[in-house]
Amino acid sequence: MSVTSQVGERVDAVRQRARSAVEPVLRAGVDAVRPVRQRQIRYTRDLADRSPVSVSVPYLFLAPFFVLFTTFLAFPILYTVYLSFHNYQGIGSATLLWIDVGPIDFQLTRIANLEYVGLANYQRLLGDGLFHNALANTSFILFVQVPLMIGLALALALALNASWMRFKGVFRTTIALPVSANLVAYATVFLLLLQEFGLVNYVLTGLGLPRVPWLSGGTQILGPLAGVLGDGFWPRLSLVLAVTWRWTGYNMIILLAGLQNVPTQLYEAAEIDGANRWEKFRYVTLPQLRPVLLFVVVTSTIGTFRLFSEPLIVSEGGAPLRATRTLVMYIYNMAFQQFQLGYASAMTVVLVGIVAVLSVVQISIGGDDDA
């Protein structure tokens, strides 16, 4: 008992000593801090006096962009969703809100006269053969064109990245040149090149190959595959060729930049380990290039889903619609030729949903699970 009280006293004494040693320092510290603190308070007050400018500066810089962004991008996205539950009855003019105070005269009117139909538009999609057909055409282009183009672009980027390759700048420019071509102009040119008696078939027959019905379609030449590929195969392939021509160089440039960012030490290390060409590609290049490849795949997928001018022109030039009609073409047709804006909006929502799902899938497959 006495032992514990003795210990307690000693502890108290130590505490006391410590406190008396620390206290003046603390007090001095507080005194030292006080003027700084006061200066800070004064500064903040000054700021408050000078503001609202100071605080709102970033918002002011952002405002012009943000106003246009919400008006023409964010609002239309929400409005598309809203429209997809309605049927369109014409342009609206009903006044919803009218503020008229001297200089301010603000009038909010309803953009369109609409009738609420619930999920009817979406139900109609399920049974619409033309929609399914357009979806199938777009998928064909997606699964044939995107791998073909990215394969080509990657091979080109690897070749142009090789140390022994000369005239890199010239090659890069000529291969990327088509990206600057006017969409409608190049589509028209492809239409002419792929005519039955056009230049492409001239070259093919010159090589002893059969004449291909690029635009008109048909199952000649396909042989046993005819039943599987159908007579829309050649027109769809024409679209694939045109799109590939235009975008390969663009993707090559992006991949080339990705390749140049791969540290050379990694290749040296792989060489010391005795890796051959394929192993270096498989275990160094591909993993290092993954984020860039992912970017290319996602943007190409989005690009496929907005194909419009190429198929439009190819179809007007004689290709059968059911072979080349893409989703955006069908949406355009519904919206602006038949004026079924609600139904077209529902298709748009579904399309955006598909693109979003595909992007997420691609990102999760190619994403950074750094193995």
Shortest gap between Cβ of 17 and another protein (angstroms)?
Answer: 46
Interface characters, 39-58, with another protein (x: CB under 8 A): --------------x-x-xx
What is the amino acid identity at position 205?
A: T
Tokens for 54? 């100071």
Task: Tell me which residues in 235-294 interact with another protein (CB under 8 A).
Answer: 245, 248-250, 253-254, 257-258, 261, 277, 291-292
Distance CA 55, CA 361 (A): 41
Query: Which is nearer to another protein, 234 or 305 (by Cβ)?
Result: 305
**Segment 292-331, which members bind another protein (CB under 8 A)?**
292, 295-296, 298, 302, 305-306, 308-309, 312-313, 316-317, 328, 331
Q: Could you tell me the smallest distance in angstroms from the CB atom of residue 23 to another protein?
A: 38
Query: What does the alpha-carbon distance between residue 94 and residue 108 come to, in Å, rounded to a whole number?
Result: 9
Please give the size of the binding site for another protein, defined by CB under 8 A: 103
Minimal distance, residue 8 CB to another protein, in Å: 52
161 close to 259: Cβ distance less than 8 angstroms: yes
- What does the CA dihedral 265, 266, 268, 273 come to, rounded to 10 degrees? 140
Cα(53)–Cα(338) distance, integer angstroms: 51
Cβ proximity to another protein: between 67 and 119 the closer is 67
- Answer for the pair 168, 158: CB distance below 8 angstroms, yes or no: no
For 116, list phi and psi in degrees, rounded to 5: -70, 130
Of residues 171, 267, 281, 283, which one binds another protein by CB under 8 A?
A: 171
Provide the CB-side half-sphere exposure for 293 (13 A, CA): 19
Distance of CA 182 to the CA centre of its chain: 21
Candidates 15-23, 63-71, 121-129, 137-145: pick the segment binding another protein (CB under 8 A). Answer: 63-71
Is 116 a residue that touches another protein (CB under 8 A)?
Answer: no
Q: What letter does residue 333 receive in the DSSP assignment? A: I
Q: Which residues pair with 105 in a beta bridge?
A: 100
Are the C-beta atoms of residues 196 and 210 closer than 8 Å to each other? no
**Is the CB of 8 or the CB of 318 nearer to another protein?**
318
Residues 70-109 interacting with another protein (rule: CB under 8 A): 71-77, 79-80, 83, 91-92, 109
Residues 210-229 that bind another protein (CB under 8 A): none
Quick check: 198 binds another protein (CB under 8 A)?
yes
> How far is the C-alpha of 220 from the C-alpha of 230, rounded, in Å?
10
135 binds another protein (CB under 8 A): no
For the bound state, the minimum distance from the C-beta of residue 151 to another protein, rounded and expressed in Å, comes to 12
Check residue 180 for interaction with another protein (CB under 8 A): yes
Pick one of 131, 186, 234, 330: the residue that binds another protein (CB under 8 A): 186
Smaller CB distance to another protein: residue 229 or 294?
294
Window 329-358: contact mask with another protein (x via CB under 8 A): --xx--xx----x--xx--x--xx--xx--
Cβ 24 to another protein shortest distance, Å: 37
219 in Cβ contact with 226 (< 8 Å)? yes
Asked if 201 interacts with another protein (CB under 8 A), we say yes
Contact 295, 254 (CB under 8 A): yes
3-state secondary structure 246-310: HHHHHHHHHHHHHHHCCCHHHHHHHHHCCCCHHHHHHHHHHHHHHHHHHHHHHHHHHHHHCCCHH
